[in-house]
Amino acid sequence: MSSSTQVRSPIRPPQSSQRLGFLQGVRQSANATVLGFALVSSALLAGGLVGLAISFRNLPDVRALKSYVPSQTSYIYDVKGREILSLHDEENRQIVPLSQISPHLKRAVLAIEDSNFYRHGGINPNSIGRALLANVKEGGVSEGASTLSMQLVKNVYLSQQRTFTRKLAEAILAIRVEQIFSKDQILDMYLNYIYWGHNNYGVETAAQSYFAKPAAQLNLAEAALLAGMIQAPEAHSPFNNFKQAKARQEVVIDRMLTLGWITPQEAKSAKNAKLKLGKPTAWQSSKLPYVTDAVLAELKEKLGAEAVRKGGLRVQTTVDYKTQKLAENTVSSAYKRLRNTMYRAKELQIALVSVEPNSHFITAIVGGVDYKKSQLNRAFQSRRQPGSSFKPFVYYTGFASGRFTPDSPVRDVPMRFRDGGIFYAPKNYGGGFSGAMSIRSAVASSQNIPAVWLGSQVGINKVIEVCRRMGIKSPLQGVISLPLGSVDVTPLDMAAAYATFASNGWYSEPTIILRVTDNQGRVLLDHRPKPQLVLDPWAAASTSSVLSSAVMGGTGKAAYLGRPTAGKTGTTDNERNVWFVGYIPQMATAVWIGDDANRPLGKGITGGQYAAPIWGAYMRQVVKDLPVEHFPAASQFPRPKADKPAPKS
């Protein structure tokens, strides 16, 4: 402890007037009647404990306290260290070492709860004598005689029932504790374990809750108020009854003065000090609920539900608070604007998720339009058909085969494809055919038939293999209509896969957790990116090139950012789901709009008209502070050798 925080020991009061005060306090407490009774009771106790020890053989082994770790509060932070949520079960607790607890608080607690703590061996004969006399008069247990050691074992091991048997068990266990642990260790455990009201367990969360400061910074007035609460935390809570709490505080200060542990001037100043209260910290709602739900899901998957329940975790997420709020506000504004337009959707929802390409860190995730009404996180828990936003996986597969380039000719004409025992004749959205065109033009105008034809040429199973390498985990069926997005995927699937295009083929496992440590600073999870090249660079660059055309002058032009931008719209049959998934070199984002009951959104609702503007409104705010970067040109990389001759379209 530094010299600036050194305080007088509560056990060795200073010389002169304060030592005199301490001795007077001792003399005043040594009432002849009580002392005589205490001596008798002590003798009886000493002889009786030997026999009682035999009767209490089944008591817990207090040596387990060496490894006992109570439930603690976990804390979740954004990528820059801003707290998002404190998470706990019944016990809101943060353990701190004794050196990080205010000396004022230690002295105040000892003064009011156990002023002879450093002198006794676990039980206090004088206190037992007084309590025994009172209890005999009352005919039951009306007054306790608990030392800090006895209170500790009661809180950890025993019931709160007031019986002679439990009190005797407390005494035996307290003696055992004193034989194994030092006084400082016992005081450390006591201050970190006990209940302080409003679901605060331990002094650190109590200090943060009642005074919005760490336990190390508590002054004498604050420390005395907290010490006074131990006897009846809720009754003496300043949140519940400030007048009662203040009266109890003065009792503690007077006790410290009587013991000679503070001067009269210190007592007067503490009583007159103005108390600035904080607010309850337990059971606070998350500042970013969709983020914390995703974090908890990943924590349970990686560490197990028991580790999450036990707590004490420090979780740094990959999400930036500012970016997340931009995403939430964009979704909220879009919902207010669209709910009347999409009149057929009774349960209209919007989801948005952003992924950083170089790391595949999730930087923002919005699972719906109103978390209070629905906690379902549609960004990673709901699967919907992606429509034409699935086509880039097919076109990439074609480019990677070496047989096709962005300028390769394809035909948008009536075609039939055999799919098992039946024939499938795809149609374009809105009907009609465009005839011969390049792949680039087919992507920009989102024609369906060229995509199905290309899928049949490269093989649907090859397309699925590419999707798996890019991290799409949703089930994919090898049907001929797969290129048109006839399978169900999550917005996170799509954002992470497009992020792999944005990084020109480099992929890491998507995560919303950057790092997890325990309360001792030990690293439990470290998700520093470990990218792998999973795509052919020439084919990936070619895909970005054609997707840039789709934004510059195609169906996705509402998403153009005035800088290199790539992306693809998606609209499913009967307008049940509309999408825009796009990216710049620094970020990929997926936007989905749909109805929870999978009802149509309304006639003519398309991804280009509705999802792309939401994407653009959000991304224009995000890119303000990002430098302009360009996608790699395909000419920088060797074109893959053709696996077979290019077919005639």
Question: Cα 125 to chain center, whole Å?
Answer: 49
At residue 54, the pLDDT reads: 45
| Paired tokens of 596 | 């929870």
**Nearest residue to 514 via CA among 304, 308, 314:** 314
Q: What is residue 198's predicted lDDT score, i.e. its pLDDT?
A: 76
In Å, what is the CA distance from 178 to each residue of 12, 149, 216?
A: 20, 7, 26
What is the rounded (10 degree) CA torsion for 637, 643, 645, 648?
-80
Residue whose tokens read 């503070």: 262
Structure tokens at 599: 């009802």
Other CB atoms within 10 A of residue 213 CB: 15
Q: Where in the chain is the domain with CATH 3.40.710.10?
A: 324-636
Point out the residues that are catalytic: 113, 388
Q: Reduced to 3 states, what is the DSSP secondary structure of residue 35?
A: helix
Confidence of residue 34 (pLDDT cuts 50, 70, 90): very low
| pLDDT of 139 over the 90 cut | no
**Does residue 406 come out as left (phi exceeding 0), alpha (psi in the -120 to 50 range) or beta?**
alpha
Render 566-634 in DSSP notation, one character per residue: EEEEEE-GGG-EEEEEEEETTEEEEEEEEETT-----TT--IIIIIHHHHHHHHHHHGGGS----PPPG
Confidence tier at 279 by pLDDT (50, 70, 90): confident
Distances in Å between the alpha carbon of 334 and those of 13, 171, 286, 376, 610? Answer: 68, 65, 23, 19, 9
Confidence of residue 290 (pLDDT cuts 50, 70, 90): very high
Give the mean pLDDT of 491-504. 98
The reported pLDDT for the residue numbered 158 is 57
Mean pLDDT of the chain: 84
pLDDT over 60 (residue 615): yes
At 466 the pLDDT is 97
Whether 456 has a pLDDT exceeding 90, the answer reads: yes
What's the pLDDT tens digit per position in 511-570? 999 999 987 889 999 999 999 999 999 999 999 999 999 999 999 999 999 999 999 999
Q: Kindly report, residue by residue over 194-252, the tens digit of the pLDDT.
A: 888 877 888 998 998 899 999 999 999 999 999 999 988 888 889 889 999 999 999 99
Q: Residue 7: is its pLDDT beyond 70?
A: no
Per-residue model confidence (pLDDT) at position 125: 72
Tokens matching residue 112: 């009011």
CATH number, domain 3-60+96-272, options 1.10.238.10, 3.50.50.60, 1.10.3810.10, 1.10.260.40: 1.10.3810.10
Of 24-38, 170-184, 482-496, minimum mean pLDDT range: 24-38
pLDDT of residue 133: 57
Share of the chain above pLDDT 90, in %: 57
The residues that bridge with 359 in the sheet, in sequence order, are none
Q: What is the pLDDT of residue 87?
A: 67
Closest by Cα among 71, 617, 32 to 310:
71
In this predicted structure, what is the pLDDT of residue 366?
Answer: 97
Supply the pLDDT for residue 8. 40
CATH topology of domain 324-636: Beta-lactamase (3.40.710)
301/160 Cα distance (integer angstroms): 37
Phi then psi dihedrals of residue 174, to 5 deg: -65, -40
Three-class SS string for 277-298?
Answer: CCCCCCCCCCCCHHHHHHHHHH
Mapped to the 3 state alphabet, what secondary structure does 342-410 carry?
CCCCCCEEEEEEEEECCCCEEEEEECCCCCCCCCCCHHHHCCECCHHHHHHHHHHHHHHCCCCCCCCEE
CA 197 to chain centre: 24
Mean pLDDT score, 29-37: 38
β-pairing, 587-595 vs 566-571, is: unpaired
Length of the chain: 649
Q: Is-contact 238 245, C-beta < 8 A?
A: yes
Question: Bigger pLDDT: 115 or 17?
Answer: 115
Per-residue H/E/C for 410-466: EEECCCCEEECCEEECCCCCCCCCCEEEEHHHHHHCCCHHHHHHHHHHHCHHHHHHH
In the three-class reduction of DSSP (H, G, I as helix; E, B as strand; rest coil), residue 187 is classed as helix
d(CA 148, CA 183): 10
**Residue 329, token pair as written in the block:** 């506000």
Which residues neighbour 57 within 8 Å (Cβ) at sequence distance 6 or greater? none
Largest CA-CA distance found in the chain, in angstroms, rounded: 113
Domain with CATH 1.10.3810.10 in the chain: 3-60+96-272
Cβ atoms of residues 342 and 614 within 8 Å: no
Residue 402's region, left for phi above 0, alpha for psi from -120 to 50, else beta, is: left
Which among 422, 415, 638, 408 has a CA at the least distance from the CA of 539? 638
Residues 632, 533: Cα–Cα separation, whole Å: 15
> Looking at residues 395-400, what average pLDDT do you find?
98
Sheet of 587-595, strand order: 361-366, 348-356, 587-595, 577-584, 566-571
Say if residues 80 and 316 touch (Cβ distance below 8 Å): no
Q: What is the DSSP letter of 561?
A: -
Q: How confident is the model at residue 17, as a pLDDT? A: 38
What amino acid is encoded at 419 in this protein?
D
Instruction: Report how far apart the first and last C-alpha atoms of the chain are (Å, whole number).
Output: 81
- The CA-based angle 643-644-648, given to 5 degrees, is 135
**Angstrom distance (rounded) from CA 593 to CA 338:** 10
